Amino acid sequence: MSSKIRCALVGLGRWGELLVEAGKQAESLEITAVVTRTPSKVERYCADNNLQLTDQLNNVLEDDDIDALIIATPHSQHFEQLMKAAECGKHVYCEKPFTLNSAQADEALSALAKSGCKVAIGHNRRFAPNTLALQQLIADGRLGELVHIEGCFHANMAQASGKWRDSVEESPAGGMTSLGIHAVDMLINLMGPITRVDAESERIAATCAFDDHTSARLRFANGGKGQLTTLTSTAMRWVITVCGTKGWAEIRDLDKLTFSPTEGALEENTYPGFDYPGLASITAALQGFAGDVLLNQPYAVSPHQIAHATAVLQAVIDSSLSGESVDL
């Protein structure tokens, strides 16, 4: 393998184009090919960006010049594509959610591991500077013992009406697969494993076929508790708040951090260059994937955390349907 991993992007929608742009800035990764169901829609884009174009996944799976897949397709397609990647020995960077249920996640992760393939998940918010600073506050003990965490990710998803996300099959429990899974990953990252989920999901003002208000009460292995909320019928909002015995800290968007200690002055920080969509954070995630493939440097999200987040996603779905809490 060369000093760069060569990737085929599977799926070229709005986020796929962001991945292409982010990939241009990655030192150890390059996107050289695109797989899409309708090549005619992206012929000009691929020509302008010097990308090989095909509508057949097998063409890139059988190409020895392709080291890895970057999967940015509809959620329900991920599992089959992950399994094919494992079969052909291709490393994988997969957009979230990894799969739509826990059994599929476990099977795909096992298959990739047995094939010696590296796997990464597209949680670019892990790489945002305010997230890294919050992690350091926690590691330094400045929050004390963590007792509570809250996460919300909202957006106006009206534009999804009539498109592939607009179904309960692709978007179970409302915004959980498109938005809330980011918050799930961040809560796991900061607070640790989740052991109980008690969720509700319903349509209040939705214009799409899926729910627009989903929330869950959470219990963590460390004894702390939490709250998760995702709305799909309001303006964009990303906030994570962590409360400890020495104070609370909050990240907003990808570039703001507030720390309020029980003793001392409020601290506020802004990190320029990371306003939405935070292209630099996507580049960092892709570069992290390349570092794992080339140098065996562990990716920020471990396979175990990928599996656990998928189990939490399934628990939110199951709890919201049954009206009962789910233990993990």
Assigned token pair, 217? 């009460």
Ranges of each domain in the chain:
5-123, 125-283+308-327
For the cut 70, the answer to whether the pLDDT of residue 1 exceeds it is no
156-170 mean pLDDT: 90
Categorize the per-residue pLDDT at 254 as very low, low, confident or very high, splitting at 50, 70 and 90. Answer: very high
pLDDT in tens, 283-306: 999 999 999 999 999 999 999 999
**Alpha helices of 202-301 — where are they, by DSSP H?**
279-295
Mean pLDDT for the chain overall: 97
**pLDDT exceeds cutoff 70 at 206:** yes
* Mean pLDDT on 53-78: 98
- Candidates 295, 289, 302, 310; CA nearest to 92 is 289
pLDDT of 6 reads 99
Show the tokens assigned to 21.
Answer: 């742009």
- In whole angstroms, what is the distance from residue 225 CA to residue 148 CA? 5
Fold of 5-123: Rossmann fold (3.40.50)
pTM: 0.97
Above 80 in pLDDT, residue 2? no
Q: How confident is the model at residue 276 (pLDDT cuts 50, 70, 90)?
A: confident
* pLDDT per position as a tens digit, 78-92: 999 999 999 999 999
In this prediction, residues 116-130 reach a mean pLDDT of: 98
CATH architecture, domain 125-283+308-327: 2-Layer Sandwich (3.30)
Asked if residue 257 lies in contact with residue 133, where contact means CB atoms within 8 angstroms, the answer is yes
